[in-house]
């Protein structure tokens, strides 16, 4: 409590943390979270704002068990969890204050991949390299469209996608992608565009 008082009102602290998580979620580059050990409460709310989540096969304890403390998730965790795993799994996890394993998190769609702890960071690094090799502008446009689609009508989302197509059309990366396809080779995109 003393540390929170020095940072300002509880509302100001919560608002600041919500802004940080929204900024992560809306970055133009994909953000990868690695979950191992205890990822509970705020320790899960941060990964829920990330675009990719990888978990340890053993030893991970994942959940939003705030009800055990007589409170509720404070930084958008319940809303993001519903979007991630659906209403039924979110209700089960939150209302029962469940702490689940990496494999269970994979089963319900909370994480994208599960690896033995000894391989987890290597796999996250490989995913980062895979994503970094993609055309940066197209990735940024797709992140904007996909993250932004939540809460929009289908027509609005299609309009966003149309803008993304027009933005990426004719770029050096798009030309390289088409050339590579025609030449039956893997494209080499300009990582800085």
Catalytic residues: 45, 66
- Confirm if 49 and 25 have CB atoms less than 8 A apart: yes
Question: What count of other Cβ atoms lies within 10 Å of the Cβ of residue 101?
Answer: 17
User: Phi first, then psi: what are they for 60, rounded to 5°?
Assistant: -80, 135
User: Phi first, then psi: what are they for 83, rounded to 5°?
Assistant: -65, -30
């Amino acid at each position: 409590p003393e540390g929170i008082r020095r940072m300002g009102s509880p509302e100001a602290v919560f608002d600041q943390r919500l802004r940080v998580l929204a900024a992560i979620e809306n970055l133009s580059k994909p953000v990868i979270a690695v979950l191992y050990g205890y990822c509970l409460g705020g320790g899960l709310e941060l990964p829920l704002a990330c675009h990719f989540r990888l978990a340890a096969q053993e030893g991970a304890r994942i959940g939003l068990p705030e009800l055990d403390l007589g409170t509720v998730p404070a930084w958008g965790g319940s809303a993001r969890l519903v979007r991630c795993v659906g209403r039924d799994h979110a209700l089960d996890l939150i209302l029962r204050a469940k702490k689940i394993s990496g494999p269970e998190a994979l089963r319900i769609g909370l994480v994208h991949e599960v690896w033995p702890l000894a391989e987890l960071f290597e796999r996250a690094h490989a995913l980062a390299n895979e994503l970094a090799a993609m055309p940066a502008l197209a990735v940024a446009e797709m992140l904007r469209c996909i993250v932004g689609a939540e809460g929009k009508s289908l027509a609005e989302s299609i309009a966003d996608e149309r803008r993304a197509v027009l933005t990426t059309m004719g770029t050096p990366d798009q030309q390289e992608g088409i050339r590579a396809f025609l030449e039956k080779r893997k494209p080499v995109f300009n990582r800085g565009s």
